[in-house]
Chain A
Amino acid sequence: METFAALAHGMAVAVQPMNLLYALIGVFLGTAVGVLPGIGPALTVALLLPVTYKLDPGGSLIMFAGIYYGGMYGGSTTAILINTPGESASMATALEGNKMAKAGRGGPALATAAIGSFVAGTIATIGLAFLAPWLVDFAVRFGPEDYFALMCVAFITVSATFGDSPIRGLTSLFIGLTLGLIGIDKLTGQARLAFGIPELLDGVEVTTLAVGLFALGEALYVASRRHHAEEKIEPVRGSLWMTKLDWKRSWKPWLRGTMFGFPIGALPAGGAEIPTFLSYSTEKRLTKHPEEFGKGAIEGVAGPEAANNASAAGTLVPLLTLGLPTSATAAMMLAGFQQYGLNPGPLLFAERPDLVWGLIASLFIANVMLLVLNLPLVGLWVKLLAIPQPWLYAGILVFATMGTIAAKPSVVELSMLAGFGVLGFLMRRFDFPIAPVVVGLILGPIAESQLRRALAISLGDPMVLLQSPMSATLLGIALIALLAPFVLKGMNRFKASED
């Protein structure tokens, strides 16, 4: 009942005309940017952060909710129409969706993706609303050592457990942790890794890192291998609407996808990639039309898209209740909170319920807006896809650098941006995952201060980490998650079995 009251209060905040407008702008901008090829939801949020600088926290977070879901929708449109998934979570969608578009069924593919995302997003947001207060009650009892242990679990699962190579994933994480050390130590005021450069004393900006790694890195990478592949946009032919048979084949995959996406997203288990592929392989097994798989089966779009969206809402559970980002997009959302000095976690639920519940309520509203906006406007989004590649990437880079130029127009900050661009390019070229760097930068300093607080309370006795049952359990999970991929090496890996 408590949840209903809080949610009703949040709705009252969210339906204020200005907030509705913010949500609409967010949804529109999020879709428009997310639809551009090569731009995933994380970069969408990073690029649009400067737009929200001048708003009040409430309005800006509501716009964020719209940008977040809009970016997800936009990504699926790109995956279906040009087969370039902006992120690995859209890969399953691209697999069947692009085939459908090639066969002249792009309309129903887009429709089942949009409606499936709506269904999954709504169910998962309800899940978020009911799970959050319960987790908050649980989390207020966490001591600093428990938080530290929880962050260790997130570090390991995000970087090592589910990637291609635990070594390369951990390398990315440690690069992020190193970047997180730069600047003045908050507890003692000592400068670390600043090398006497005053601009470094404030530390590395998360937006500078994310825009550099994602936008500049991606542009450099695509430019470097432009001669390999030519992108082709599939025109949307025929009816946009789903037939009765399409509906019949879609609704079960939507629900099953949601069931995969939400729990896996809500656990600190790293991203939407796993639930989308689980959903894809489940639908492939259960379908009555196995001959269509690989040639454009609607179940293969409906399920993974639902899983993708449900998992996006799921990642908001640890983000809002524990302050724990488990994907690059969630890390960018955390950066959005931090620009107002807000720290998501149990305290924020107690201190600013209007903000948190307004945000959750806005997720429902953003979802409805997307459903209403997306299908009628699909013609507009297709036109955005048709921007010639040179201008598209040139424009993306102008916008990407503009955020930094507006925030800190210094030679040092812009050089860092360019440096992170080169880093992002090299990491893509040598197949290092990007998300752990961002998570390491944003979570590393928090984990360190929690550990130091725990040790200060225990008068320097490290056994405090094992004396708390919660912390000991979590550290055990982290250890298992770290060792599992090495133990399982050589066995048939999850991803290999998909091809």
Chain B
Amino acid sequence: MTDLPQGPAARRVDRAGVVIALALAALAVVLVWDSRQLPATTMYGMGPEVMPVVIAIGLGLLAIGNLIDALRGNLPERESADPTAVLLILGGLALLIAIIGLGGGFILATSALFVTTSAAFGRRAIFADSAIAIVMTTLIYLAFDRLLTLSLPTGPLERLL
């Protein structure tokens, strides 16, 4: 536990922790705002607008708790993170969503994700990985679409099969 004082470093305000507390508070506000849109019902017991407020109160209290932890610097230590790897995978997910949204089909979409993820884990062989990805996702497509009759989105590549 980090409850014990561990020198000046452990007592510094954790800025990320403050952001988390603010995000929780904002979420609580959204819940209350949304529940105000619901018409109050006259039936016995509680209507749909009560539970969001209860949860919002809980979130508000937890925001305070998280804020106290952050101000005291009580959060567990974090190791440094590599932002490029995270951004590469998120880019791959964005590509996947865009390709599916534009009708590019399953094979192209998941291949894009495969190549970017592989790159995020340190591979620098985009062409080889693309070939592997297309073969693998084509096989998955055939297995699930033909054998298990699961409908996966079709695009130009799927129509060739």
Interface residues of A (CB under 8 A from B): 50-51, 53-54, 164-165, 167-168, 170-171, 174-175, 177-178, 181, 185, 187-188, 190, 192-193, 195, 216, 219-220, 223-228, 389-391, 393-395, 397-399, 401-402, 405-406, 409, 411, 414-415, 417-418, 421-422, 425, 429-431, 448, 451-456, 458-460, 489-490, 493, 496
Contacts and interface: CB of A to CB of B under 8 A. Distances in A.
What does DSSP make chain A's interface, helix, strand, loop or mixed? helix
20 contacts: A164-B76, A167-B65, A171-B24, A174-B59, A188-B47, A192-B34, A219-B117, A224-B83, A394-B118, A402-B152, A405-B152, A406-B150, A406-B151, A414-B96, A418-B93, A425-B86, A429-B78, A430-B75, A430-B78, A489-B3
A402 B51 contact: no
Given A185-B48, A394-B117, A394-B121, A190 B39 contact: yes
B117 A224 contact: no
B97 interface: yes
Given A192-B52, A455-B45, A398 B89 contact: no
A223 B82 contact: yes
A411 to B, nearest CB: 4
Nearest to A52: B148
Contact of A422 (B35, B90, B100, B151): B90
B82 A226 contact: yes
Given A165-B69, A193-B34, A454-B45, 15 more contacts: A174-B55, A178-B27, A178-B59, A190-B39, A193-B52, A225-B80, A225-B81, A226-B82, A389-B122, A391-B123, A394-B117, A405-B106, A455-B46, A459-B44, A496-B1
A423 to B, nearest CB: 11
B161 to A, nearest CB: 17
B38 A190 contact: yes
Contacts of A458: 45
B78 A418 contact: no
Given A174-B55, A414-B97, A223 B85 contact: yes
B3 to A, nearest CB: 7
A28 B133 CA distance: 24
B62 A220 contact: no
B16 A174 contact: no
Chain A to chain B: the 4 pairs with minimum beta-carbon distance, closest first:
A455-B45, A390-B121, A223-B85, A456-B45
A415 B97 contact: yes
A459 B46 CA distance: 10
A224 to B, nearest CB: 4
B81 A224 contact: yes
A430 B17 contact: yes
A490 B3 contact: yes
